[in-house]
Structure 1
Amino acid sequence: MPEHALAEAVSLAAALPNLEIAGSEIVRLPKVQPGMLFGSGKIAELKARFAAADVELVLVDGPVSPVQQRNLEKEWGVKLLDRTGLILEIFADRARTREGVLQVELAALSYQRTRLVRAWTHLERQRGGLGFVGGPGETQIEADRRAIDEEVVKIRRQLAKVVKTRELHRAARRKVPFPIVALVGYTNAGKSTLFNRMTGAEVLAKDMLFATLDPTMRGVELPSGKKVILSDTVGFISDLPTQLVAAFRATLEEVLEADLILHVRDIAHPETEEQAADVSDILESLGVDEDVPMFEVWNKIDLLAPPLREALEVQDARTPGIHAVSALTGEGLPALLEAINGTLDEPREETNIDLPFQAGKERAWLHREGVVQKETETSDGFRLLVRWSARQKAAFESL
C-alpha cells in the first residue's frame, strides 16, 4: 500500500543524521513526465511550499532519472535524492569496516557514473587531442566517466584483497568445528536486538532502518553446552538498488556459509508478508543452498494485541520451523535455542573416502566443509578420513 511505502520512506529519511523532516505526502502521478517527473501545476505548487518551509532537500521514494533530477533541482532550488541516492547516503554514513566503506564507494561510483549529466554545466566542452591526428579530443563527460572507471578498478582491487582476508578468516573458522547461524531479515526486523539477547553483545540496536551495516559475529553457547557462531547481517529492503545488491554480495557471504539461517520477521508490521517475500527473493538471488535449514523467527510479539499473540503462539506450537519470540523481553528465546541445538546437533559418522588426483573439486569441497580429519596420499590419489553429517554426505554425493 502507498501509505506503508511512505512510512518506510520517512523511516529511511529519519535514518540519516541531522536531518529534520518537514513533511511527507503521497503524490499521485497520472502520467510520468520524462523531463520533470511531475506535471507543471504540481511542480509550481510544490515549489511554493518548499520555499515557504525553507526546504533544502527533497526525497523522492522511487527512481528519478538524471535529467529529471537536474531539472527539478534547478526549478525548485533544492538538492534532490531518489530512493537509491538516499540508501547510498545512509550506507555511506553507517559503514565502519574497511570492506563496508569500499563497498559503499563502489556502489556510489556506479550510481554516479549514470548521473554525470546533472552535475556539470560544461559537459559539451571538449579537451583538445595531443595533436597527432587532429581529432576533436575528449569531451568532459568522457573524461569524467574515465576517471570514475579508473577509480572503480582501483577500489575493486582493494576490495579483492579484503575479501581474500575474509576468506582466510572463514577458512580458519572451518577448522574449528563450530556451526554458523546467520540472522537475516528485512531492515528493522529486530535482528540486532535478538543478536544482543542471544550473545550478550552490545551491537548497535535502534528502531531505525539499516542500524546494522557491517557483519558482526559472536560465539554463543547453547543449552547443551554446544558452541555456535552467530552472525548478524545487513537488513534487506524492497527495491534495493542493483548497485548495492552486487556490492554487498561479499558482506552477505556469511549467509552462504551458514549451517542454519534464522529469518527474523517483524511479525507486528502490517506488511510482514511482503517483507518476507522480499527477503526470500534476495536469498534466492544470492544462491543460498536450499538444503540449508531455515527457521522463521516471528519477532516483536510483545507489540501484538493479546488475541493475535495467542493465535500466533498456537501456530508456533503446531508448525515446525516457526518460532514466535520477543527479542526485547526474551520471551520464546529458550525454545528457539533448544530448536537450534536440536537442528545443529546432527549425528556424524566417520568414513574413509578414496579420491583420484583429478578429483580436485570434490577434495576442495571436503576441506572447505571442515570434515576432513586426516588425509594421506596414495599411488592413485588421496585417502581421506572424514567425519560428516547425513546432510553433508548427501551434498557431497550430489556434486
Structure 2
Amino acid sequence: MTRALVLHPDIDTGSAGPSRDPDLALEEAVSLAHALPDLAVVDSAVVRLRKPDAGRLFGKGKREEMKARVAAAEADLVLVDGPLTPVQQRNLERDWDVKILDRTGLILEIFSDRAATREGVLQVEMAALSYQRTRLVRAWTHLERQRGGLGFVGGPGETQIEADRRAIDEQLVRLRKQLDKVARTRTLHRAARAKVPYPIVALVGYTNAGKSTLFNRLTGAEVSAKDMLFATLDPTMRRVVLPHGGPEVILSDTVGFISDLPTELVAAFRATLEEVLEADLICHVRDISHPETEAQAHDVEAILESLGVAGETPRIEVWNKIDRLDDAARAAALTQAARGERVHAVSAVTGQGIEALVAAMSEALAETRHMSTLHLRFDEGRRRAWLYENDLVEDERQSEAGFDVTVRWTARQEARFREI
C-alpha cells in the first residue's frame, strides 16, 4: 500500500474572480486519491501561495515545511492537486526525495485502473503516453547515459531522451491504428443502433453525482454505483420502456465530468461521449447536496459546450440526492425545482421524485417529435407495416394510388424509415 500525502495549492488569484473553496477542493482531491485501491491517504493539506514559483511551484519556506510534513507522514507519494510542469515535478522530487504526481497524472492513473472496454483502455494509453512524452525531462534520471559515442554531441542524455521520445511516438502511431479499428466497429454498432428507432437519453453530470444509481433505478440494471469518483468510465447503455405509457428508449450512463479535466482526457474520451452528442434528450444529473453544486454544474455545461453538444438538444436538470438534505433544505429544493422549467428534485436511492422525472422525460421526448404526411404506394406494404409496428401512425387515408399516412416521429425514426 502506497502512503500518499495530498496537497492542494491555493494560489492567490487576486481580483480574477471567485475561486472555489480550497477546503472543498482538497476534499475532492482526497476523494480522487481514494479512487485508487492501492493508495492510502495518510495526510492532506491546503498550501496557500501568493505567487507560484516557476521552478518548484512552492516557495522556499513552504517547501521546507512540506518536506517535514512528508517525513512525519512517512509518505511514499505526494499528490499535488493542480498542474505541475516537468521541471517543477523533477525539482520537487529531488527536494523532498519522494515520488510526485500532479492532478493530471492522478486522473490518468484512475482512468487506467478503471477502463474496461478495449476502446477505453486504448484511449487511456494514448492519453498517458501524450502526457509522459512531455515529462521525459523528468522521467529519466540517467541523463548522463549515452547510447554509444563519446558524449561530445548534444549534451548529456539528449540522445537517450530523443530515443525515448521516438519510441513513444511509434507507440502512439500503433495505438491510433488500433483505436481506428475499434472506432470503426463502434461506428457499425452506432449505425445498427440508428436503425433501432428508439430515442437516446443520456445521463451526464459531475463525477459522483449519482448517475449510475439513477441509471439502475430507471433500468433495473446493476451498473457499478459506488460512492466514489469515476466509478463509471465506460458508457453503459440499456433499452428500457419508460413507465406509465412512456416510450421505449435507450438510456446511456456516461463518464463523470470534473473540474480542470486534463485536456489529454477531454480529447481521449470524446468517443465515449458520442452517445451524448447523438442524444435526443440529455439529463444533467446534479448532486444538489454538494456545497459547490452550482460550480459543478457550470463545469459540466462548459465541457458539454467544448464537446460540441448542440444547445437545441432538449435537457432536463435532475437535482439528485435530496435524501441527504435536512428537512428544511429538502423542502426549499423541492419548491425551487418546482418553479424551474424542466428541473426535477429526486433521490435515486429512495425513489422520491422518480415518477415525475420519468413523466417529464416522456413529455420532453414527445416534444422532439414532428408530424409528417407520407404517400405510400400499394406495393410499399413493408414500409407501411414498419410505421404501424413502431406506433407512429396518427392518421391514414386510402386513395386510388395508395395510402396517405400522417405520422408523428423523431428525426432518428424518419431517417430509419428513409432507409427501408
After TM superposition, is the score higher than 0.5? yes
Kindly state the Cα deviation for residue 390 of structure 1 after the two structures are TM-superposed: 7.6
1:15 — aligned with what? 35
Between the aligned partners of 1:117 and 1:319, the Cα distance in structure 2 is 52
Whether 1:349 and 2:360 are equivalent positions in the alignment is: no
Kindly state the Cα deviation for residue 220 of structure 1 after the two structures are TM-superposed: 1.3
Contact 1:128–1:136 (Cα < 8 Å) also in 2: no
Kindly state the Cα deviation for residue 318 of structure 1 after the two structures are TM-superposed: 2.5
Kindly state the Cα deviation for residue 41 of structure 1 after the two structures are TM-superposed: 2.5
Kindly state the Cα deviation for residue 47 of structure 1 after the two structures are TM-superposed: 1.8
1:233 — aligned with what? 254
Whether 1:264 and 2:275 are equivalent positions in the alignment is: no
Work out which of the residue numbers 44, 53, 57 in structure 2 matches 1:24: 44
What stretches of structure 2 of length at least 5 have no aligned partner? 1-20, 376-389, 391-404, 416-420
**Structure 1 segment 120-139 matched on structure 2, within 5 A:** 120-123=140-143, 126-127=146-147, 139=159
Whether 1:63 and 2:110 are equivalent positions in the alignment is: no
Between the aligned partners of 2:247 and 2:300, the Cα distance in structure 1 is 29
**Structure 1 segment 102-117 matched on structure 2, within 5 A:** 102-117=122-137
Between the aligned partners of 1:114 and 1:100, the Cα distance in structure 2 is 22
**Aligned to 2:88, what secondary structure does the other structure show?**
helix
Contact 1:300–1:325 (Cα < 8 Å) also in 2: yes
Between the aligned partners of 1:89 and 1:214, the Cα distance in structure 2 is 15
Deviations 1:172-214 (A, max 9, x none): 1111111100000000000000001110011111111000000
Kindly state the Cα deviation for residue 249 of structure 1 after the two structures are TM-superposed: 0.4
* 2:356 maps to amino acid: A
Contact 2:246–2:362 (Cα < 8 Å) also in 1: no
Contact 2:212–2:223 (Cα < 8 Å) also in 1: yes
Contact 2:246–2:359 (Cα < 8 Å) also in 1: no
**Structure 1 segment 263-302 matched on structure 2, within 5 A:** 263-302=284-323
Contact 1:126–1:136 (Cα < 8 Å) also in 2: no
Deviations 1:290-324 (A, max 9, x none): 12100000000111121221122122223221010
**Aligned to 1:345, what secondary structure does the other structure show?**
helix
Between the aligned partners of 1:50 and 1:101, the Cα distance in structure 2 is 33
2:233 — aligned with what? 213
Whether 1:148 and 2:180 are equivalent positions in the alignment is: no
Contact 1:188–1:207 (Cα < 8 Å) also in 2: yes
RMSD between aligned residues: 2.6
Structure 1 residues 136, 89: closer, same or farther in 2, change over 3 A? closer
1:78 — aligned with what? 98
Work out which of the residue numbers 333, 351, 368 in structure 2 matches 1:312: 333
**Aligned to 1:220, what secondary structure does the other structure show?**
strand
* 2:229 maps to amino acid: L
For this pair of structures, how many residues does the alignment match? 361
Whether 1:37 and 2:60 are equivalent positions in the alignment is: no
1:322 — aligned with what? 343
* 1:157 maps to amino acid: K
2:395 — aligned with what? none
**Aligned to 1:23, what secondary structure does the other structure show?**
strand
Between the aligned partners of 2:372 and 2:124, the Cα distance in structure 1 is 45
Question: % of aligned pairs identical?
Answer: 70
1:175 — aligned with what? 195
Structure 1 residues 305, 101: closer, same or farther in 2, change over 3 A? same
Contact 1:59–1:86 (Cα < 8 Å) also in 2: yes
**Aligned to 2:238, what secondary structure does the other structure show?**
strand
Between the aligned partners of 2:356 and 2:307, the Cα distance in structure 1 is 29
Contact 2:199–2:412 (Cα < 8 Å) also in 1: no
Between the aligned partners of 1:255 and 1:241, the Cα distance in structure 2 is 19
* 1:7 maps to amino acid: E
Contact 1:124–1:139 (Cα < 8 Å) also in 2: no
Between the aligned partners of 1:22 and 1:257, the Cα distance in structure 2 is 43
* 1:237 maps to amino acid: I
Between the aligned partners of 1:136 and 1:143, the Cα distance in structure 2 is 13
Between the aligned partners of 2:193 and 2:410, the Cα distance in structure 1 is 21
2:113 — aligned with what? 93
Between the aligned partners of 1:169 and 1:288, the Cα distance in structure 2 is 21
Kindly state the Cα deviation for residue 334 of structure 1 after the two structures are TM-superposed: 0.4
Between the aligned partners of 1:35 and 1:285, the Cα distance in structure 2 is 31
Between the aligned partners of 2:260 and 2:287, the Cα distance in structure 1 is 18
Between the aligned partners of 1:262 and 1:221, the Cα distance in structure 2 is 16
* 2:274 maps to amino acid: E
2:397 — aligned with what? none
**Structure 1 segment 328-339 matched on structure 2, within 5 A:** 328-339=349-360
Kindly state the Cα deviation for residue 128 of structure 1 after the two structures are TM-superposed: 5.8
Structure 1 residues 31, 250: closer, same or farther in 2, change over 3 A? same
Between the aligned partners of 2:239 and 2:410, the Cα distance in structure 1 is 25
Deviations 1:217-262 (A, max 9, x none): 0111112152101000000000000000000000111101100000
Kindly state the Cα deviation for residue 386 of structure 1 after the two structures are TM-superposed: 11
Q: TM-score, normalised by structure 1?
A: 0.85
Work out which of the residue numbers 118, 121, 124 in structure 1 matches 2:138: 118
Structure 1 residues 245, 105: closer, same or farther in 2, change over 3 A? same
What stretches of structure 1 of length at least 5 have no aligned partner? 130-134, 354-369, 371-384
Structure 1 residues 90, 136: closer, same or farther in 2, change over 3 A? closer
Deviations 1:35-82 (A, max 9, x none): 222222322222222223211010000111111111211221211100
